[in-house]
């Protein structure tokens, strides 16, 4: 290799290294900008809007939690033949829809993403899912929440949430067996929802979010008692 060629090769290598260094520096700068935004800008925006991250977590978690209560209640019309159970479960589903809607409004007003499961569950209610009038084309399966409904409750913090497999298994039951399984699931689900409400009441900042948590705690406590009374009548045949 001539000295001229060697010089040119060394120049090309140096150029490539400088380009790679510039790309790496740009990437590091972008990561640092995101970290700074998450650590400074987001909390600052929350403070300016009068809410904390605890308020956000409560609203998103319980929007999803109420969405699953709607999903469970929507199973009843095609599977239960007990008018008293149907009436109570419809009341639970309707109250859960009202709370999910209120939480979705709170989130949207603060430009916080509304969980997809809450949006899907509210659409299910609008389509007649709680009344048994929704036609989803699944012969004999009864009204169901839209396929693929997902929840972000994680392991260890499920707050009484059922897995998709548990819901699918329940959907195969009928009449008294279904009634007992549904009532038992709703009781566990309701008691699981008390923890997020209590945490918001104790540590929340936003007055509206705290008021929603206080109302929710009172509602689900009362409903859990009524569900337990109904389960005692129906009998825990499916538990």
Instruction: With a cut of 90, say whether residue 98 has pLDDT above it.
Output: yes
Mean pLDDT score of the chain, rounded to an integer?
82
pLDDT greater at residue 21 or residue 73: 73
**CA-CA-CA-CA dihedral for 194, 195, 201, 207, to nearest 10:** -80
Q: How confident is the model at residue 159 (pLDDT cuts 50, 70, 90)?
A: confident
Asked if residues 60 and 112 have their Cβ atoms less than 8 Å apart, the reply is yes
Q: For the whole model, what pTM was predicted? A: 0.74
Instruction: With a cut of 90, say whether residue 74 has pLDDT above it.
Output: yes
pLDDT given for residue 177 in this prediction: 96
Task: Name the residue among 216, 225, 185 with its Cα closest to residue 100.
Answer: 216
CA–CA distance, 61 with 66 (Å, rounded to integer): 9
What is the CATH number assigned to the segment(s) 50-234? 1.20.1260.10
CA–CA distance, 172 with 40 (Å, rounded to integer): 50
Instruction: With a cut of 90, say whether residue 102 has pLDDT above it.
Output: yes
pLDDT given for residue 147 in this prediction: 40
Question: Which letter does DSSP use for residue 238 in this model?
Answer: T
Task: Name the residue among 219, 235, 197, 189 with its Cα closest to residue 98.
Answer: 219
């Amino acid at each position: 290799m001539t000295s001229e060629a060697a010089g040119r090769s060394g120049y090309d290598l140096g150029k490539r290294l400088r380009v790679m260094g510039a790309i790496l520096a740009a990437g590091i700068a972008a990561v640092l900008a995101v970290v700074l935004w998450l650590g400074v800008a987001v909390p600052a925006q929350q403070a300016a809007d009068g809410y904390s991250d605890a308020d956000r977590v409560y609203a998103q978690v319980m929007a999803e939690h109420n969405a699953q209560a709607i999903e469970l209640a929507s199973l009843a019309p095609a599977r239960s033949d007990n008018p008293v159970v149907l009436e109570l479960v419809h009341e639970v589903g309707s109250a859960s829809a009202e709370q999910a809607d209120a939480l979705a409004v709170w989130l949207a007003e603060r430009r916080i993403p509304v969980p997809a499961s809450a949006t899907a569950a509210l659409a299910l209610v609008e389509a007649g899912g709680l009344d048994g009038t929704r036609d989803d084309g699944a012969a004999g399966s009864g009204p169901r929440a839209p396929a693929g409904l997902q929840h972000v409750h994680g392991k260890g913090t499920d707050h009484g949430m059922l897995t998709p497999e548990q819901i699918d298994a329940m959907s195969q039951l009928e009449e008294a067996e279904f009634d007992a399984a549904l009532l038992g699931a709703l009781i566990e689900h309701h008691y699981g929802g008390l923890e997020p409400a209590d945490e918001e009441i104790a540590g929340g900042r936003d007055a509206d979010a705290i008021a929603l948590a206080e109302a929710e705690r009172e509602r689900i406590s009362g409903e859990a008692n009524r569900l337990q009374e109904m389960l005692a009548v129906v009998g825990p045949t499916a538990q």
